[in-house]
Amino acid sequence: MQILNIGIFAHIDAGKTTLLERILFETGRIRRPGTIEEGTTESDYLQEEIERGISIQSTLARVFWPNAKEPKVLFQFLDNPGHLDFQSQTSASLVVADVGIVLIDAFEGLKSQTLQNVEWLRKRKIPILFFLNKLDRKGIDITDSLVDLEAVLGKEPILLWKEEGEFSLLQERSSDQSLLPLLEWDGDLSEQYLQNPDHLADLARKGFARGFWKEEFFPVLGGAALHGDGVRELLRSLELLSESFRPELRPKEELGIAFKRELHPDLGRIVYVLASKEFPQNQKFWSASSQGKMDSLHYISTRDIEETGRVLPREIIVVSELDSLQPGDVLYSSPQKEYRSELTPIRKQFQILIEPETDEHRDSLWKALQLLVWMDEGLEIKILPETGQMQLSGLGELHLEVSLSRLKEFYPHKINVSGIKVARFELWKKMVIQGEFQHTAFDQKISSGLVQASLVSSNSFSRDVRFETKITETLEEAITSAFYEVVAKGSKGEEVLGLDLIVHRYDPPDVSNETSSLVKVAVIKGLKDIIRQHTELIGPLSILEILIPDSSLGDVLAVLSKRSAKISDVISVGDGKSLVHAKASTENLLGFASVLRNMTQGRGVLSLDSLFDSEHYYVITLVDSR
């Protein structure tokens, strides 16, 4: 039996959860499809998800196709949140997905989140199958969506959906010429078609199955998930793709990859693991963050769990009581010299300060926050040494709002919470500056010696220390420690980004003595003096896409102007609505979602992506200063 791991990705409200619900119904897993409005879907079962009508965590569903009694393939679907605030869940799914289904709301077209999903998938070289959803709505023109897709992909997508007639790819015989792009990429298949034009459908299926995995083309299917239109065609297409799928060979000592953590009502703390090879219950493992034994193995599918004594290659299982395992950890069957992680940390840009109402509850609040962070890789906590306050950092306003609400499950007492603050940083803005660092003590009787170095732009947000001279390991540690101590706080109290330190030479003092502590002091003082003059304050930049009633357009544009937003364009989309594209400092947009909701009486739809990298950031001026 083949196994295919499928991530479902889309912008907000495109129908991901509805699609998975219909898949479960079509395959006999559930008797009746649930709805988001009623809070009865299989995948959105957390109280916060039901109350808000959104997905806040990814959900796994195991689907045997065409049925559980005689399965040809096991589909392991991962339904992911549409909000960027919960991108840590999406990032985890990208680690294990073989194929990405990207849903597009056919009425609203491509959104910024759609483009972000496509970018993530292509960066990880995961083939994409597009599904135009909500095609049952009247007045839909899919031309714009296809044109936008072509611009993003760099090649024309292949539309396999037909408004009328059968799904020709799966017909025994077909003369549908729109199937030709599925085989034209392959010389042998093209030759066979020229010799036997009547075999078009069969040759197109072969081309579809082979070319998809090579990303020779991007197929576009369609339908209406709410009513089941196009869902069985999607499943049959996935079955066709599974027949030609060849998973990447993994190292023989690799057991699997941990990719997600969750608090389960029956199993407690669980970790999701994609198995790289077959292994039994009680299997020992080693990883970057821990070593131990997998005492129990369970299959999990939405809300259902089933214990198993052995896992097959490429199955996803959950293990309990392994709290120290980190998402991204690669698990091995024996100790290794080096351990790998498949996930890179996500920078948390939004912060709030939390304190218990009484000191007697401080420890229990800290433990509750630790549990919250354990479940959600997008969160981070620390205690500020200056004030003793607890700082919770996350990926957005909604993310922190939901996290505080979930905190009540583990901490029943009252807390004091500050307003949300957006993280600021200092960016090194010079290409190269030479520096000489020296420090003396005890009336200049003892010297550090002279360190000659360059402060160089890394041309990114990275930081590093490099040595072009041979010095002792102790001195290297002293200089490296001094550098990271200074850049952690900067001259303006913020973390410094984009700076490398290159040490060219070290001249020791005339009198031999232990100099490492003096060298560290010299480098700290010298770096502080230079950095003070050559950094600028920066913060994340937000890209907005707002669908609003025309009656509210003027008011919304005025509010954006007051928040120093730059309007890119305003597009009339018909039906009395306009689409506004803009960008602004993320901290200037705090609270904007609530203002928009009130201003448009809940009819405004906001898609907001907060970007922060060396190409996307906002320079904070004195006018912006808090």
Q: Are residues 258 and 129 in the same domain?
A: no
Partners of residue 571 on adjacent β-strands: 579
CATH number reported for the structural domain that contains residue 355 in this entry = 3.30.70.870
Q: How sure is the predictor about 347, in pLDDT bands with cuts at 50, 70 and 90?
A: confident
Distance CA 123, CA 500 (A): 27
214 shares a domain with 120: yes
Cα angle value 67/69/71 (rounded, 5°): 55
Q: What is the number of structural domains in the chain?
A: 5
C-beta of residue 100 within 8 angstroms of C-beta of residue 116: no
Q: Are 537 and 422 a contacting pair, CB within 8 Å?
A: no
* Mean pLDDT calculated for residue range 314-326: 94
Confidence band (pLDDT; 50, 70, 90) for 140?
Answer: confident
Query: Do 305 and 395 share a domain, yes or no?
Result: no
In Å, how far are 350, 392, 487, 551 from 383, measured between CA atoms?
Answer: 16, 9, 19, 47
Query: Which CATH number does the domain housing residue 306 bear?
Result: 2.40.30.10
- Of the candidates 218, 244, 270, which is a domain's last residue? 244
For residue 111, the cross-strand partners are none
- Tens of pLDDT, residue by residue over 237-283, are 999 999 999 998 899 999 999 999 999 989 999 999 999 999 999 99
**CATH (domain of 609):** 3.30.70.240
Tell me what pLDDT residue 165 has. Answer: 67
Q: Which DSSP helix (H) or strand (E) runs through 25?
A: helix 16-26
Question: Does residue 356 belong to any structural domain of this protein?
Answer: yes
pLDDT, tens digit (0-9, with 9 covering 90-100), for 597-611 = 899 988 888 888 888
- In whole angstroms, give the CA distance from residue 524 to residue 482: 5
Query: For residue 270, which of 294, 235, 239 has the smallest C-alpha distance?
Result: 294
- pLDDT score recorded for residue 626: 44
Burial letters 465-493, b for 16+ CB under 10 A, else e: bebeeebeeebbebbbebbeebbeebbbe
- Do 162 and 137 lie in one domain? The reply is yes
**Residue 625, pLDDT score:** 47
pLDDT at 137: 87
> Domain span at residue 408?
350-423
With a cut of 70, say whether residue 624 has pLDDT above it. no
Sheet of 268-275: strand order equals: 291-294, 283-286, 330-332, 254-264, 268-275, 316-320, 297-301, 304-308
Same domain for 206 and 103?
yes
Q: What phi, psi does 389 have (nearest 5°)?
A: -75, 150
Is 342 inside any structural domain?
A: no
164 and 26 fall within a common domain:
yes
Residue 66, preceding peptide bond in cis (omega within 30° of 0): yes
If asked whether residues 447 and 404 sit together in one domain, one would say no
Asked whether residue 311 is domain-assigned, the answer is: yes
Q: What is the DSSP string of 419-445?
A: --EE--EEEE--SEEEEEE--EETTTT
Tens digit of pLDDT for each residue in 424-460?
999 999 999 999 999 988 766 788 999 999 999 998 9
Whole-model pTM? Answer: 0.85
Pair (145, 6) in one structural domain: yes
Residue range 123-147: mean pLDDT, rounded? 92
Residues 119 and 74 placed together within one structural domain of the fold: yes
Judge residue 266's burial from the number of C-beta atoms within 10 Å of its C-beta, 0-12 exposed, 13-18 middle, 19 or more buried.
exposed
Question: Minimal CA–CA distance to 223: which of 153, 151, 129, 154?
Answer: 129
Does residue 340 fall inside a structural domain? no
Q: How far is CA 49 from CA 18, 43, 437, 589, in A?
A: 14, 9, 56, 24
Is 166 within the bounds of a domain?
yes
Per-residue pLDDT at 276 = 97
Residue 207 binned pLDDT confidence (cut-offs 50, 70, 90): very high
At 132, the pLDDT band (50, 70, 90 cuts) reads very high
- Per-residue pLDDT band for 353 (boundaries 50, 70, 90) equals very high
Q: Whole-angstrom Cα distance, residue 574 to residue 586?
A: 29
Which of these, 119, 148, 120, 139, lies nearest to 220 by C-alpha position? 148
Beta strand pairing call for 128-133 and 99-105? parallel
User: For a pLDDT cut of 90, what percent of the chain falls above it?
Assistant: 73
Does position 82 have pLDDT exceeding 90, yes or no?
no
Give a yes or no: residue 544 inside a domain: yes
* 350 three-state secondary structure: strand
- Give the rounded percent of residues in the chain with a pLDDT score beyond 70: 98
Q: Is residue 624 part of a domain?
A: no
Tell me which amino acid residue 219 is.
P
Instruction: Check whether residue 78 and residue 109 sit in a common domain.
Output: yes
Do residues 431 and 508 share a domain?
yes
Residue 475 backbone zone (phi > 0: left; psi -120 to 50: alpha; other: beta) = alpha
68 in a structural domain: yes
Least confident among 9-18, 286-295, 495-504: 9-18
440/413 same-domain check: no
**Mean pLDDT across 10-28:** 91
Q: What is the distance, to the nearest Å, from the Cα of residue 120 to the centroid of all Cα atoms in its chain?
A: 8
Q: Cα torsion for 164, 167, 172, 175, to the nearest 10°?
A: 60
CA angle 541, 547, 550 (to 5 degrees): 125
Answer whether residue 135 shows pLDDT above 70: yes
Radius of gyration of the chain (CA): 28
Mean pLDDT for the chain?
A: 91
For residues 536 and 457, the answer to whether their CB atoms sit within 8 Å is no
In the sheet with 618-619, reading across from the earlier edge strand, the strands are 495-497, 425-428, 535-539, 618-619
* Residue 401 near residue 439, CB atoms below 8 Å: no
- Domain boundary among the residues 269, 303, 332 is at 332
Using alpha carbons, select from 58, 87, 78 the residue that is nearest to residue 609. Answer: 87
CATH number of the domain where residue 486 is located: 3.30.230.10
Q: Which helix (H) or strand (E) holds 129?
A: strand 128-133
Q: What is the mean pLDDT of residues 290-312?
A: 94
Last residue of a domain, one of 423, 456, 472: 423
Query: What b/e string do you get for 48-85 counting C-beta neighbours within 10 Å, with b at 16 or more?
Result: bbeebebbbbbbbbbbbbbeeeeeebbbbbbbbbbbbb
Each residue of 31-64: pLDDT tens digit? Answer: 888 776 666 777 777 777 777 778 888 999 999 9
